[in-house]
Every structure is written in C-alpha cells, then in structure tokens.
Amino acid sequence: MTTALPDHAAQPRRYSTVAIVLHWLLALVILAMFAVGLYMTDLPFSPQRLKLYNWHKWAGVAFLALTLLRLVWRLTHRPPALPVAVTRTMPGWQHRAYHATHHLMYLLFFAVPLVGWAYSSAAGFPIVWFGQLPLPDLLPVNKELAELIKPLHKYLALALMALAGLHIAAAIKHQWVDRDGLLERMLPGGR
C-alpha cells in the first residue's frame, strides 16, 4: 500500500535553473536600463546621448523578449510552493501583497518597454535593434502624442523600480529577519 504525498511534496523546493537565470539576468538589465535612463535624460544633445538612447532602446527590446520568455517559462513550469515556515507565519495581507507585487511587476515588465517603444515611434525615432534589425513602429509619427507618452514611460519605470525595491526589501527581510529560507529558492547554486 502506498501513501499519497501531500500536494506540496510533489512541487519543487527551488526555482528551476532557467527561472533563476532569467530572474537575475532581467534584474541586472532593468537596473542598468534605469540607471542609463536617468543619466541620459540630463545629457545635452550629443553623439554620447544618441548612443545611450539607442542602447536604452535596444536593451528595452531585449528586456521585452526576455520577459516574454520568462512568462512562457513561468506558465509552463510550476514554481515552488512557499516554504512551510513562510506560510505558517506570514500574515494574510503580506501573502496578498506578495502576489499583487509579482503580478504588477509582470504587468510593468511589459508596459514600460512597450510604452517606451510607442513613444519612440510617435516621436519619429524608429528602433533599429543593434543597428541591424529595423522594428516596426507601434504608432505613426505624432509629436503631440509623443509628448503625452513620454512622461508615462518615465512614471511607469519609476513605479517598476519602486516595486522592485519593495521586492528586494521583502527578500532581505525574509533572509535576515525572518530567516525562513524564502530567498534560497531563487539563489544560484543552492541546494
């Protein structure tokens, strides 16, 4: 006679290697894009500014493609359940905030680069990915619309960085205050 395992026993304890690599790669790309985005907007018109704007757009398209890959991976590979130590002690509002933050981050992972692409299109600056692959414009050239979209890209990026900061703060809390093993699920080379 065999004993059925509880549902959580069949789930992995850690994220897959692909999920971990995509998580940390996207984290690095988004932090670099945000830093470059802040830096380049204050530069005077120059070849350096144009180069950074192109790099920022190329990275945005790469980020969008990697985000799509990450979402497909997430939908086809079950993530690990929260550790029992976490589910036992986490208040309901924190559990809801955990899910809401992840859903909002995924939404912004798509919204920020797509709105940036729409702005670039409306401003009349097509994206030629890595200087080789012309991408279609999302909108026709319309300078007035571009001026409306530009701050939206900025505010969505700021919202994404605020959520990323909250995500990092929660991970630090779980690692060093709660000591509940939550972070180990996403660290490379873990057990």
103-128: pLDDT as tens digits: 999 999 999 999 999 999 999 999 99
| Residue owning tokens 């790669």 | 25
pLDDT for residue 3: 45
Q: Could you please report the per-residue DSSP string of 71-84? A: HHHHHHSPPPPPPH
Residue boundaries of the structural domains of the chain: 14-80+95-185
Is it the case that residue 34 has pLDDT exceeding 60?
Answer: yes
Single out the residue of 123, 113, 117, 126 nearest to residue 145, CA to CA: 123
Between 34 and 8, residue with greater pLDDT? 34
- With bands split at pLDDT 50, 70 and 90, how would you rate the model's confidence at 190? low
pTM: 0.88
Cα–Cα distance for residue pair 161/154, rounded to 1 Å: 11
Fold of domain 14-80+95-185: Fumarate Reductase Cytochrome B subunit (1.20.950)
Which positions ≥6 away from 102 have C-beta within 8 Å? none
pLDDT tens for 54-66 read 999 999 999 999 9
pLDDT for residue 86: 84
Task: Give the dihedral sign, CA 96/101/107/111.
Answer: positive
Cα–Cα distance for residue pair 126/107, rounded to 1 Å: 24
Cβ-in-10-Å burial (0-12, 13-18, 19+) of 96 comes to: exposed
Question: Per-residue pLDDT averaged across 149-156, rounded?
Answer: 97
